[in-house]
């Protein structure tokens, strides 16, 4: 698509393939830094270990929770297994550093912790069980701090905002929701044009713009509609809708 390899030579050389792969890594990495290009929320679970308050989370089997390191945790429940066969789902408060720092007693023993603090700092995994072959995608972990010392192996379910899955080799299968295929395809093509001194194809640029706007629109929270005082002349109960940037008149 970038006109780097022709129809008679469909297989890129090792250097070209490596350059394109690193451009893809850069596109995914940059997208993860943009809140409106990241993935939407995902529900996950882990089991509390009695006597353990801190849980490392990242994409490596050496960690307590083996899944991609979340951008943040939005909400959580604790599932009280003592109520089986119909366990209770009890909300767990997700707190920030300020509240966690002011929390008086953090290690009081309890079967049902009331809160958790998510420290999203990127920490390199010291001895990964599955080290990647490319240092550019070396894994990192964050930490979930449980407020209260667990005394029972109950389950925490939480909803988090996940990063885009990073590639580690040419043969990885990447899973994204709808809309990301063309965003990554055309976005990568746009990054390859200057690397190979190729002119930008306006059609590809337009397709990339459409794909980018599609995923950004799906991720952004619509602005609320702003109501105006009905006593103003000619408003007649209408309002300004910031989502469409237009005046909505009510009969």
In-domain check, residue 28: yes
Mean pLDDT of the region 53-58:
95
Average pLDDT over residues 228-250: 57
d(CA 102, CA 222) in angstroms, rounded, equals 34
The arithmetic mean of pLDDT across residues 56-72, rounded, is 90
Which letter, b or e, does each residue of 173-185 get, where b requires 16 or more Cβ atoms within 10 Å of its Cβ?
Answer: eeeeeebbebbbe
Q: Does 124 map to a domain?
A: yes
Residue 70 is predicted with a pLDDT of: 86
Neighbouring residues of 169: CB distance < 8 A, sequence distance ≥ 6:
133, 134
What pLDDT sits at residue 237?
56
> What does the pLDDT average to over 1-7?
81
Q: What is the DSSP letter of 185?
A: H
pLDDT-based confidence at residue 153 (cuts at 50, 70, 90): very high
- Look at residue 24 and tell me if it is in a domain: yes
Residues 155 and 46 in one domain: yes
184 & 87 share domain: no
Calculate the average pLDDT of the chain: 84
Per-residue pLDDT tens over the stretch 18-31 = 899 999 989 988 88
pLDDT tens readout for residues 189-199: 999 999 989 99
Number of domains in the chain: 2
| Pair (90, 133) in one structural domain | yes
Mean pLDDT for 212-220 is 79
In this structure, the answer to whether residues 65 and 157 fall within a common structural domain is: yes
Kindly state whether residues 68 and 98 are assigned to the same domain.
yes
Q: CA–CA separation, 167 vs 139, rounded Å?
A: 11
Q: For residue 82, tell me if it sits in a domain.
A: yes
Residue 237: how many other CB atoms lie within 10 Å = 11
Residue numbers of the domain that contains 55: 41-161
91 and 56, same structural domain?
yes
Total number of residues shown for the chain: 251
Six-digit token pair at 189?
């093509």
CB atoms within 10 A of CB 124: 10
What pLDDT band is residue 79 in, cutting at 50, 70 and 90? very high
């Amino acid at each position: 698509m970038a006109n780097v390899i022709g129809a008679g030579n469909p297989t890129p050389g090792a250097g070209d393939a490596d350059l394109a792969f690193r451009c893809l890594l850069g596109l995914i990495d940059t997208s993860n830094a943009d809140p409106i290009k990241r993935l939407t929320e995902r529900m996950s679970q882990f089991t509390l270990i009695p006597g353990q308050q801190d849980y490392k989370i990242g994409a490596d089997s050496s960690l307590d929770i083996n899944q991609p390191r979340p951008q943040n945790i939005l909400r959580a429940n604790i599932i009280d297994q003592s109520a089986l066969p119909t366990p209770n789902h009890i909300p767990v408060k997700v707190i920030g550093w300020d509240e966690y720092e002011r929390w008086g007693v953090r290690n009081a023993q309890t079967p049902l912790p009331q809160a958790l603090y998510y420290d999203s700092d990127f920490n390199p995994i010291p001895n990964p069980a599955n080290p990647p072959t490319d240092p550019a995608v070396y894994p990192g972990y964050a930490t979930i701090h449980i407020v209260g010392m667990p005394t029972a192996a109950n389950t925490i379910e939480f909803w988090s905002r996940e990063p885009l899955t990073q590639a580690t080799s040419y043969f990885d299968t990447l899973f994204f929701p709808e809309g990301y295929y063309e965003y990554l395809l055309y976005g990568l093509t746009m990054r390859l044009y200057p690397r190979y001194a190729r002119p930008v194809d306006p059609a590809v640029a337009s397709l990339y713009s459409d794909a980018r706007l599609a995923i950004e629109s799906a991720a952004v929270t619509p602005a609320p509609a702003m109501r105006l005082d009905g006593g103003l002349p000619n408003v007649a109960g209408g309002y300004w809708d910031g989502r469409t940037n237009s005046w909505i008149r009510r009969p």
